[in-house]
Amino acid sequence: QILILDFGSQYTQLIARRIRELNVFCEIHPFTHAPDLTEDIRGVVLSGSPCSVRDPEAPNPDLSKYLGHVPVLGVCYGAQLLAQQGGGEVLPATIREYGRARLHHIEQSSPLMQGLSLDSQVWMSHGDTIKTLPKGYEVIASTPEVEVAAYHIEGQPTYGIQFHPEVTHSTQGKQLLRNFVVDICQCAQDWTPEHYVDSSVVALQRTIGPDDQVILGLSGGVDSSVAALLLHRAIGPRLHGIFVNNGLLRKEEFESVLHSYQGLGLNVTGVDASEEFYAALKGLSDPEQKRKAIGRTFIEVFDREAHKVEGARWLAQGTIYPDVIESVSVKGPAVTIKSHHNVGGLPEQMNLKVVEPLRMLFKDEVREVGETLGLPHHILHRHPFPGPGLGIRILGDITPEKVQLLQAADAVFIDALHQTGLYEKVWQAGAILLPIHSVGVMGDERTYEQVVALRAVTSVDGMTADWAHLPYEFLADVSNKIINQVRGINRVVYDISSKPPATIEWE
Ligand code: XMP
């Protein structure tokens, strides 16, 4: 595997993504916790950083345990750090280099540069530049502005590059990373979903005792579903899935997802606790109070069900790699790992150990593993859905009648997205029930009924989002259908706000 030592660059995760795309396994560790060299580590990548190596406070770890023992590739800050530690000179760049540049000199014999063409576009993003290289360092690529765009330390497989091969604007960046991990580090390209499934099944069977029972909260989302399938493959019915209906799911979602799980052979208990949730929410209209009531009720219901599982030793969670990286980030003190199912104090209370079979996977890898395990398309590619569900899409207080009304309108919208092939073009979509009435006219009668807002966004990770530019004809059709079919709604509006400054949800 490849070890990526993180110095805090915004691109570190991308380096890992690109290496994994080459079917080579890699792990990110913060430079403050640089692991010792083991046989598994075939090479090391030093990431970029928002810091300047000239700053006395900047990260400056001792890298002698790696240098000369395994191949090392310094990227941007990593390259400057190696140059400075070797006695070279790093200075502020006279021309700040951000953006595209072209390689006008390449040392063709360098193993790192194989297959890269002259004039290849690379992505620069740095305020410092390497002015003089230490003795024994040779330049292997330059751009018109940056003499030391790439270098090699003679006599050892250590390289530095000033540009960022991990961003797609470096058009041959992947080739360069391939040269490093496959040819120079000699990593086998065997990190595939099938390989991951096989090796995790063996690892899970080794970790989980032969009589141990495992509890997992299922939500119908991708992560918990894939975690369930993987555990099921490893330990069969000793995995006890618990799927709680909080009464705030989409129309018929509870039944249909439960049905899918059962079709996959999973040992899952569906618990319809809708009435408990409605009782806890009664009269509450403050968003935070609603969230708290939903979270608290979930823990109560889940705990009660979990205590029924005899011999339970483990609590499984669908934690994925970005959550893990976040929790060990160099950017700040450890943030607690997001608890996907709000399991509260259950591990301590029931003396459970936690098992996280997806903690090494990125989201798209989770999908690939899910596909390998036969998870149906509609679960694999479903939009994200918030834990509190429709509870935060009914503005104001919640009643079962309002839930039914919103479920009906939401189903018209989502079905239409599916039918027109637009569902997979948007990142998330749903309907919101507004806490107002407005006047309308139907036939000869005036109406005074509720308003529904439609929300659809495009996004990569939900941190920022743009409102989806859905076709007018599509919106007109959905609006007609909702007003005609859902009694109690006489007006539909479309949300055209982006995040920031708006959020995706309305509460
Ligand atoms: P916002 O509204 O903050 O949403 O732009 C970003 C993403 O997070 C989801 N979301 C939640 N998920 N519990 C959840 O599990 C919540 O309380 C919650 N609030 C927002 C939202 O659906 C979107 O995907």
pLDDT (tens digit per residue) in 462-475: 889 999 999 999 99
Say what the pLDDT of residue 332 is: 47
Q: What is the mean pLDDT of residues 418-437?
A: 98
DSSP state of 383: P
Neighbours of 113 (CB within 10 A): 23
The topology under which CATH files domain 2-184 is Rossmann fold (3.40.50)
Nearest CA to ligand 1 atom 16: 386
Q: Start-end ranges of CATH 3.40.50.880 in the chain?
A: 2-184
Residue 387 CA to ligand 1 center (angstroms) comes to 8
Options 3.30.428.10, 3.40.50.620, 3.30.450.40, 3.40.50.10070; CATH of 193-380: 3.40.50.620
400-494: which CATH topology?
A: GMP Synthetase; Chain A, domain 3 (3.30.300)
For the chain, the first-to-last Cα distance in angstroms comes to: 43
Q: Is the pLDDT of residue 345 over 90?
A: no
Residue with tokens 């109690």: 488
CA distance 305 to 394: 28
d(CA 126, CA 104): 19
Read off the pLDDT band of 339 (50, 70, 90): very low
Q: With cut-offs at 50, 70 and 90, classify the pLDDT of residue 256.
A: very high
Q: Distance between CA atoms of 477 and 425, rounded to whole angstroms?
A: 18
How big is the CA angle at 221 (ends 218 and 225), to the nearest 5 degrees? Answer: 55
Band of pLDDT at residue 347, cut at 50, 70 and 90: confident
Distance 49 CA to ligand 1 centre (A): 29
Cα–Cα distance between 387 and 249 in angstroms, integer?
9
Q: How confident is the model at residue 96 (pLDDT cuts 50, 70, 90)?
A: low
pLDDT of 357 reads: 95
pLDDT, tens digit (0-9, with 9 covering 90-100), for 469-503? 999 999 999 999 999 999 999 999 999 999 999 99
Find residue 150's DSSP bridge partners: 141, 161
Please indicate whether residue 371 is annotated as part of the active site: no
Q: Tell me the average pLDDT of the chain.
A: 93
For residue range 114-173, list pLDDT tens digits in order. 999 999 999 998 889 999 999 999 999 999 999 999 999 999 999 999 999 999 899 999
Confidence of residue 321 (pLDDT cuts 50, 70, 90): confident
Q: Whose CA is nearest to atom 18 of ligand 1?
A: 386
ipTM more than 0.90?
yes
The single residue listed with the structure tokens 């982006």 is: 498
Tens of pLDDT, residue by residue over 14-32, are 999 999 999 999 999 999 9
Active site residue 166: yes
pLDDT band at 336 (very low <50, low <70, confident <90, very high): very low
Pairing of strands 239-245, 312-316: unpaired
386 C-alpha to ligand 1 centroid (Å): 5
Q: Is 222 annotated as a binding residue?
A: yes
* Res 210 pLDDT > 80: yes
Ligand 1 atom with least separation from CA of 385: 22
What does DSSP assign to residue 34?
P
Kindly list the protein residues whose Cβ atom lies closer than 6 A to any atom of ligand 1: 291, 384, 386-388, 428, 462, 499, 503-505
CA proximity to 369, closest of 264, 360, 263: 360
Residue 324 pLDDT grade (very low, low, confident, very high; cuts 50, 70, 90): confident
Residue range(s) of every CATH 3.30.300.10 domain in the chain: 400-494
For residue 398, pLDDT beyond 60: yes
Per DSSP (E only), the strands in 38-190 are 43-46, 72-75, 89-102, 105-106, 121-132, 137-142, 150-153, 158-161
* C-alpha separations of 19 from 27, 69, 231, 379 in Å: 10, 21, 26, 27
Active site residue 29: no
Q: What percent of the chain has pLDDT over 70?
A: 96
User: Whole-prediction pTM value?
Assistant: 0.82
With H, G, I as helix, E, B as strand and everything else as coil, classify residue 100.
Answer: strand
Question: Given a cut of 50, is residue 454 above it in pLDDT?
Answer: yes
pLDDT over threshold 80, residue 344: no
Could you say which of 166, 305, 365, 507 is catalytic?
Answer: 166
Query: Is 477 among the annotated ligand-binding positions?
Result: no
Atom 22 of ligand 1: nearest residue by CA position: 386
Each residue's pLDDT tens digit, 175-188 = 999 999 999 999 99
- Residue 225, annotated as binding a ligand: yes
